Chains A and B, each alone.
Chain A
Amino acid sequence: MTPIDTIDTIDTIDTIIKEPPAKFKKSIMVIPPIIAIAGILFFIFFATSAHPEKAWLVYLTNFLFFTALSAGGLLFSTLMHFTKAKWSHNLAGIAESFAAFFPVSFILFILLFIGQDHVFTWIGVDLHGKGIWLNIPFLFFRDFIAFLILYCLGFAYLYQTLKFRLKNAGKETWLKQFLFRRFEKTPHDPEKIKHRMTIFAGWYMLAFALVFALTGFDLVMSMDPHWYSTLFGAYTFIKAIYAGFGAIIILASILHLNPNFSFNLSSSQLRDMSTLFFGFSIVWGDFFYSQFVVIWYGNIPEETAYIIERTMTSPWKWLAWTVFIVCFIMPFIILLSRKIKESPWCMIVVSSFVLAGLWIEHFLLLGPSYLDHEYFVHNTGIFPISISELIISLTFLSLLIIAILFYLKQFPELLKKGSGEVVQWK
């Protein structure tokens, strides 16, 4: 089967037949699984201890954070395709690798309901009529369907776009084999494939907005069932896009800096990506401020209790200020500089800080609903984030890394120079 419309040069005789497997350092392949297994055991131990709600709080925080990050990563590729952007092909290829986390996220979502008694703070609370919406079966069902639809659309898009990205009919990775067997049966018209990609990209982006709005309302806002904010859904998916873009920058910069891979990021590409990231830091700040100023100004106790607890009481206010500085002030000032935007090392540092800040933000929104105020009054000096939280978060991070590594190992051409530079989008 001939590759479609490729203008990339074929490297050596060997690669015509077989793409050499990606060379990953042994430590990268071994450490994440070890951490993951250890972490899972630790979580089970933690969740069966005296404070299971603390364990499930961290689980939920990490689940939401990494799901948002991975869906936002794939969104970059769909967005670039939909708007017919020409500058980002190899970046989009890397961005698509985040979709490998989707099955993991889906399983984690299902497993979340093992701890439903501890996860959902409104169980047994008088919901004044909200019960038909906030009950476990309906919530599970609608969020299950939502994630299913989102992930299926994502995979449908990925399936089409891989027809352009996979160059050689490599027989050494089983996923590629499977895909190529299917590709052979389908038509090879590039225009038709691009059209399908556009349709799936559009539906994915719409589903992304709706699903993250829904899960934002269901899995975060509902944890304080008497509070509400109409912007919360949109705020959730803006956070997801912000996180996803930051993750793409980190991954792309790491691959660019790694001498083992010929993946190359031009300085103008990195600058454009960083500018997009900068733009989203402002959008995130704007959405945050929009909620904050309206609730602050109206001063209605029904709404302000939530905000006061999270931004003005100890210990949460320290987290809140950290989030604000790290996710808005710091990137705003630092990313004004062109040189920093073009430097992979600087961008890795800045993006990592921002992602850490967004993680803390997810934790901050949920935390006070689980950890009663009394808890901190009686145990002064306790900081809500401790070693246990870090271990479980590292576990989730390892799962993400394993998923991405799996994807990149299956499709090694994404790591080569000029990956994705196949078709001129018109």
Chain B
Amino acid sequence: MSQLTFETINTTVLNTLARPGKIYWCIIALLFAGVVLGASCWAYQIFVGVGVAGMNTPVHWGTYLINFVFWVGIAHSGTLISAILFLFRAGWRNPIARAAETMTVFAVCIAGLFPFIHLGRVWLVFYMLPIPNQRTLWPNFQSPLIFDVIAISTYLTVSSLFWYTGLIPDLAIIRDRSNGIKKKIFKILSLGWSGTTGQWLNYTRAYMLFAGLATPLVISVHSVVSWDFALSVTPGWHTTIFAPYFVAGAIHSGLAMVLTLSIPLRKIFKYESLITINVLENIAKTIVFTGIIVGFSYGTEVFISWYSQNIIEMETFRWRAFGHYAPEYWIMIICNTIIPLFFLLKKCRTNVIWLFIISIFVNIGMWFERFVIIAGSVAHDFLPNAWGHYRPTWVEGGIMLGAFCLFFFLFLLFVKHLPSVSMTEMKELNHKTE
């Protein structure tokens, strides 16, 4: 850290914004093709009807909801890193804060798409918005689904504003070191920032308030998402632990995604001096912590299902472990609680290959957790007569692929056109530690 100066920080990050090569554009084209594939599947669904997806009695919520919860979860740890760790004054967050916050904004955008996709008749989406109309019909604000509308829109707005506000000083740096059209664009984007003491004083206060507001927002948004399920009476869904359990799980999966994104980023952009192995190690340690919380939640749910002596609860949890979706359940348990324990070994925490591989496993595990909870509970609820199975169709698969491609597409566009490490925050850290 000591060989970093303001100038080296600037140049290391600004060098990443140089003209990209052919390989980059090829990957972008490939990802874009994936997005188009997803969009086509969605167009097909709009044209033919939502029945082309696999949802049917009894499982009415399938991969669309699973992906919705998955992407909201990933968004959360971005805010954890950029806002919550900021409040705790954890300096190790500075190198990854920008990439994490960007990940949040894109993940929320994609998450917001899924309820829209799930609608089927997407032209009726305005029903969910409180718009005055002749029939004086309004959304039912008692419904957790409407909580979601308000919560996700708030989250998207707040994250975008937070992200943009954080970018302003960095945009000024790019403006001051570029010419021509690029200078004109960044002149507009940076809003005339000149770094005067008055500006900095107000800016830091606003940033602190942003972080202070984003923290309860993060917790409330994923609690609201969890209440989509917990406020029902379906066994396996109706349980009080969902809110903190989902928040911890969200952070768990999001941190894994941060690792998945930042390890290649670090290698390709030569960010080793900025995103040090210590930063990655701290993320790994936090993953152990969230993994323990998730494991605790699994154990508590199983214990209480027995304690309740309610035959339906007991059957739900027995079936989860040994029923039709048992493979998914055990993937979930192993990937989310057992594999992260490898991070207790320092060798695993400090080796980028191990970090990357384990992060992929955690992401897979967390996706399957949502599958087990969402599809698994409804498939096997009260009446044996109503039990059924669910299998996603190619339409859902295409849309899911499109969503993943969209995320990486947006993220790759971002890293080459905007600074993926916050130069200002790195300089602040550098200044504090020297």
Query: Does B239 lie at the interface of the complex (its beta carbon under 8 Å from any beta carbon of A)?
Result: yes
Give CA–CA (A232, B296) in the complex, Å. Answer: 13
* Residues in A370-405 with C-beta less than 8 Å from chain B: none
The stretch of A37-45, A173-181, A284-292, A415-423 in contact with B is: A284-292
Query: Does A135 lie at the interface of the complex (its beta carbon under 8 Å from any beta carbon of B)?
Result: no
Give CA–CA (A210, B301) in the complex, Å. Answer: 14
Give CA–CA (A425, B230) in the complex, Å. Answer: 43
Do residues A230 and B304 form an inter-chain contact, with CB atoms below 8 A?
Answer: yes
Do residues A230 and B292 form an inter-chain contact, with CB atoms below 8 A?
Answer: no
Do residues B231 and A130 form an inter-chain contact, with CB atoms below 8 A?
Answer: no
Given contacts A209-B296, A290-B223, A295-B240, contact A228 B231 (CB under 8 A): no
Please indicate the chain A residues that have their CB under 8 angstroms from the CB of B301 in the complex: 230
Given contacts A282-B216, A286-B243, contact A298 B232 (CB under 8 A): yes
Please indicate the chain B residues that have their CB under 8 angstroms from the CB of A230 in the complex: 239-241, 297, 300-301, 304
Do residues B227 and A293 form an inter-chain contact, with CB atoms below 8 A?
Answer: yes
Give CA–CA (A294, B88) in the complex, Å. Answer: 31
Do residues B239 and A290 form an inter-chain contact, with CB atoms below 8 A?
Answer: no
Give per-residue flags for B192-227: 1 if the beta carbon is below 8 A from chain A beta carbons, else 0.
000000000000000000000000100110010001
* Residues in A204-239 with C-beta less than 8 Å from chain B: 206, 209-210, 213, 217, 228-234
Please indicate the chain B residues that have their CB under 8 angstroms from the CB of A124 in the complex: none
* Residues in A155-210 with C-beta less than 8 Å from chain B: 206, 209-210
B93 to chain A, nearest CB (A): 13
Please indicate the chain B residues that have their CB under 8 angstroms from the CB of A291 in the complex: 240
Do residues B243 and A298 form an inter-chain contact, with CB atoms below 8 A?
Answer: no
Query: Does B244 lie at the interface of the complex (its beta carbon under 8 Å from any beta carbon of A)?
Result: yes
Given contacts A294-B230, A297-B231, A298-B231, contact A286 B241 (CB under 8 A): no
User: Which of A230, A231, A295, A302 gathers the greatest number of chain B CB atoms within 10 Å?
Assistant: A230
B291 to chain A, nearest CB (A): 12
A238 to chain B, nearest CB (A): 9
Give CA–CA (A295, B241) in the complex, Å. Answer: 11
Query: Does A7 lie at the interface of the complex (its beta carbon under 8 Å from any beta carbon of B)?
Result: no
Given contacts A130-B309, A290-B223, A298-B232, contact A229 B300 (CB under 8 A): no
Partner of A290, one of B240, B300, B308: B240
Do residues B240 and A229 form an inter-chain contact, with CB atoms below 8 A?
Answer: yes
Give CA–CA (A129, B308) in the complex, Å. Answer: 10
Partner of A129, one of B223, B227, B309: B309
Please indicate the chain A residues that have their CB under 8 angstroms from the CB of B304 in the complex: 228-230
Give CA–CA (A234, B88) in the complex, Å. Answer: 22
Give CA–CA (A282, B84) in the complex, Å. Answer: 14
Query: Does B361 lie at the interface of the complex (its beta carbon under 8 Å from any beta carbon of A)?
Result: no
The count of chain B contact residues (Cβ–Cβ below 8 Å) is: 28
Give CA–CA (A297, B312) in the complex, Å. Answer: 19
The count of chain A contact residues (Cβ–Cβ below 8 Å) is: 30
Give CA–CA (A294, B223) in the complex, Å. Answer: 11
Query: Does A113 lie at the interface of the complex (its beta carbon under 8 Å from any beta carbon of B)?
Result: no
Query: Does B307 lie at the interface of the complex (its beta carbon under 8 Å from any beta carbon of A)?
Result: yes
Give CA–CA (A287, B247) in the complex, Å. Answer: 12
Give CA–CA (A109, B216) in the complex, Å. Answer: 37
Query: Does A144 lie at the interface of the complex (its beta carbon under 8 Å from any beta carbon of B)?
Result: no
Do residues A233 and B300 form an inter-chain contact, with CB atoms below 8 A?
Answer: yes
Please indicate the chain B residues that have their CB under 8 angstroms from the CB of A128 in the complex: 309
Query: Does A24 lie at the interface of the complex (its beta carbon under 8 Å from any beta carbon of B)?
Result: no
Query: Does B242 lie at the interface of the complex (its beta carbon under 8 Å from any beta carbon of A)?
Result: yes
Query: Does B238 lie at the interface of the complex (its beta carbon under 8 Å from any beta carbon of A)?
Result: yes
Query: Does B233 lie at the interface of the complex (its beta carbon under 8 Å from any beta carbon of A)?
Result: yes
B302 to chain A, nearest CB (A): 10
B143 to chain A, nearest CB (A): 10
User: Which of A213, A229, A290, A295 gathers the greatest number of chain B CB atoms within 10 Å?
Assistant: A290
A366 to chain B, nearest CB (A): 18
Do residues B244 and A234 form an inter-chain contact, with CB atoms below 8 A?
Answer: yes
Give CA–CA (A129, B242) in the complex, Å. Answer: 26
Query: Does A133 lie at the interface of the complex (its beta carbon under 8 Å from any beta carbon of B)?
Result: yes
Do residues B216 and A290 form an inter-chain contact, with CB atoms below 8 A?
Answer: no
Query: Does A125 lie at the interface of the complex (its beta carbon under 8 Å from any beta carbon of B)?
Result: no
Given contacts A206-B292, A230-B241, contact A294 B307 (CB under 8 A): no
Give CA–CA (A206, B292) in the complex, Å. Answer: 9
Query: Does A107 lie at the interface of the complex (its beta carbon under 8 Å from any beta carbon of B)?
Result: no
Query: Does A300 lie at the interface of the complex (its beta carbon under 8 Å from any beta carbon of B)?
Result: yes
Please indicate the chain A residues that have their CB under 8 angstroms from the CB of B232 in the complex: 298
Do residues B296 and A231 form an inter-chain contact, with CB atoms below 8 A?
Answer: no
Give CA–CA (A297, B307) in the complex, Å. Answer: 22
Please indicate the chain A residues that have their CB under 8 angstroms from the CB of B219 in the complex: 286
Given contacts A297-B231, A300-B233, contact A213 B240 (CB under 8 A): no
Partner of A228, one of B242, B244, B292, B307: B307
Known interface pairs A213-B300, A286-B220, A294-B239; 14 further A-B residue pairs with C-beta atoms within 8 A, sorted by A's residue number: A228-B307, A230-B239, A230-B241, A230-B297, A231-B239, A234-B296, A286-B219, A290-B241, A294-B227, A294-B230, A295-B240, A297-B231, A298-B238, A300-B233
- 26 sampled A-B residue pairs with Cβ under 8 A: A127-B309, A129-B309, A130-B309, A206-B292, A210-B296, A213-B296, A217-B307, A228-B304, A228-B307, A228-B308, A229-B240, A229-B304, A230-B240, A230-B300, A231-B243, A234-B241, A234-B244, A286-B220, A287-B243, A290-B242, A290-B244, A294-B240, A294-B242, A295-B240, A300-B233, A300-B238
